[in-house]
Chains A and B, each alone.
Chain A
Amino acid sequence: MRGGGLRLTVAVLALAALVLGMPLLKPLFAALYPALERPLYEGDSFLALTADHLALVGASSLTAVVAGIVAGILVTRPAGAEFRGVVEAVATMGQTFPPVAVLALAVPAMGFGPVPALIALTLYALLPIVENTVAGLEGVPDAVLESARGLGMRPFEILWRVELPLAAPVILAGVRTAVVINVGTAAIASTVGVKTLGLPIIIGLNGANQAYVIQGAAVVAALALVLDLGFERLTAMVSRWRRA
Chain B
Amino acid sequence: MIAFEGVTKRFGPWVAVDDVSFTVEDGAFCVLIGPSGSGKSTLLKTVNRLVVPDAGSIRVDGEDIAALAPEELRRRMGYVIQSVGLFPHWTVERNIATVPALLGWPKARVRDRVTELMELLHLDPERFRNAFPHQLSGGQQQRVGVARALAAEPRILLMDEPFSALDPITRGTLQAELATIHRQTGTTIVFVTHDMDEALKLADRIAVLDHGRLVQYAAPRDILANPAGDFVRDLVGREEWGLKRLAVETAGERARPLNGSVPDGEPLPGDTPLRRALSEMVSRGTDRLAVVDGQGRPAGVLHLSDLVRP
Contacts and interface: CB of A to CB of B under 8 A. Distances in A.
Interface of A: 141-154, 157, 161-162, 165-166, 241-242, 244
Contact of B71 (A144, A147, A153, A244): A153
Contacts of A161: 87
Contacts of B72: 152
B81 A151 contact: no
B134 interface: yes
A146 B289 CA distance: 50
Nearest to A149: B50
A150 B79 contact: yes
Given A151-B98, A152-B99, A165 B89 contact: yes
B75 A151 contact: yes
A155 B33 CA distance: 31
B88 A147 contact: no
A152 B131 contact: no
Chain A interface mostly: helix
* Chain A CB within 10 A, most for which of B73, B87, B89: B89
B81 A166 contact: no
Contacts of B132: 241, 244
Contacts of B89: 165-166, 241
A143 B85 contact: yes
B210 to A, nearest CB: 25
Interface in B176-197: none
A241 B74 contact: no
Contacts of A141: 83, 85
B303 interface: no
B174 interface: no
A142 B85 CA distance: 8
Interface string B28-52: 0000000000000000000010100
Contact of A143 (B71, B83, B90, B134): B83
B74 A147 contact: no
A93 B83 CA distance: 40
A152 B85 contact: no
Nearest to A242: B134
B213 interface: no
28 contacts: A142-B83, A143-B83, A143-B85, A144-B87, A146-B50, A146-B81, A146-B85, A147-B79, A147-B81, A147-B86, A147-B87, A147-B145, A148-B85, A149-B50, A151-B79, A151-B148, A151-B149, A152-B71, A152-B72, A152-B75, A152-B99, A153-B102, A157-B102, A162-B87, A165-B89, A166-B88, A166-B89, A244-B132
